[in-house]
Amino acid sequence: MGLLDFVYEYTPFIAEGVVVTLQISVISFLLGLALGIALLGLSLTSLRPLARMYIEPVRGTPLLVQLLLIYFGLPSIGIKLDAFTSSFLALGLNSAAYQAEIFRSALKSIPDVQILSAESLGFSGSQVYRYVILPQALRISIPSLVNEFVTVVKESSLASVIGIVELTRRGEYVAAYTYRALESYLVVAAIYFAVCYLISYLSRRIEEKIRIPGYT
Ligand code: ARG
């Protein structure tokens, strides 16, 4: 079978994995968003060390090891999670640490002079946050958040290790069935690339629309 025939024959089966890949990615990203905002909130209070105690170990250990801990490790202390739940928990808990940092650096990028000006105009502390800092910080975070989503989509391939049949796992099936690993994984890679490229492309279009003058 030539390359084109191979692609024609097996791409539909592999591409169906996009559905599970995106399911895991979206759920994980949203979980990471919620927890990331919570972590940010925590790090703005006197409980900041607590937030750091979460963020640093999560960023300092491999996601694969975190996934294995959740799926194979937790049952030892009576917490049995199925593979799908383990996958989005691991990815979501992991992404939360990165998203918290994205928000933190966006907040820090708002010049102090704006806060002082708002205060001198009589804004209260919470009004400064609500009307001056947050609207800008959110827009500044968007490119990095999209980047993080693309990372989550790619990292979701790790779920294949614990038996989730998503994009990567489908490629493994085809490679095992046809003995043509090169072609199989090239198809897998091309599909990831198409998905990630599309996401980045769309987000660039959106960014152009909401750009704040004076910021790059
Ligand atoms: N491969 C890295 C790891 O295993 C990436 C972690 C996920 N990164 C992220 N931005 N969510 O640690």
pLDDT of 108 higher than 80: yes
ipTM entry: 0.94
Regarding pTM above 0.90, the answer is yes
Residue 155 CA: nearest ligand 1 atom is 7
Please work out, in degrees rounded to the nearest 5, the angle formed at the alpha carbon of residue 28 by the alpha carbons of 25 and 32. Answer: 135
- Average pLDDT over every residue of 17-45: 96
In this structure, of 14-28, 89-103, 126-140, the range with the lowest mean pLDDT score is 126-140
- Distance from the CA of 94 to the center of ligand 1, in angstroms? 7
Q: What's the CA-to-centroid distance between 3 and ligand 1, angstroms?
A: 33
> What pLDDT sits at residue 90?
98
3-state secondary structure the chain: CCHHHHHHHHHHHHHCHHHHHHHHHHHHHHHHHHHHHHHHHHHCCCCHHHHHHHHHHHHCCCHHHHHHHHHHHHHHHCCCCCHHHHHHHHHHHHHHHHHHHHHHHHHHCCCHHHHHHHHHCCCCHHHHHHHHHHHHHHHHHHHHHHHHHHHHHHHHHHHHHHCCCCHHHHHHHHHHHHCCHHHHHHHHHHHHHHHHHHHHHHHHHHHHHHCCCCCC
pLDDT at 147 over 70: yes
Residue nearest to atom 12 of ligand 1 (CA): 62
Q: Which atom of ligand 1 is nearest to the CA of 91?
A: 11
Pocket of ligand 1 (CB under 6 A): 62-64, 94-95, 98, 148, 151-152, 155
Closest ligand 1 atom to the C-alpha of 65? 4
Whether 89 has a pLDDT exceeding 60, the answer reads: yes
* HSE-up (13 A, CA, CB side) for residue 173: 16
118 alpha carbon – ligand 1 mean position (Å): 38
Mutate to test the pocket of ligand 1, among 68, 94, 99, 105 (most ligand atoms within 8 A of CB): 94
pLDDT value at residue 209: 82
**pLDDT tens-digit readout, 175-206:** 999 999 999 999 999 999 999 999 999 998 88
- In this prediction, residues 141-148 reach a mean pLDDT of 94
* C-alpha 6 – ligand 1 centre gap (Å): 32
User: How many CB atoms are closer than 10 A to CB 21?
Assistant: 25
Rounded to 5°, angle at Cα 196 from 190 and 198: 100
The alpha carbon of 95 and the centre of ligand 1 are apart by a number of angstroms equal to 8
CA of 121 to the centre of ligand 1 (A): 43
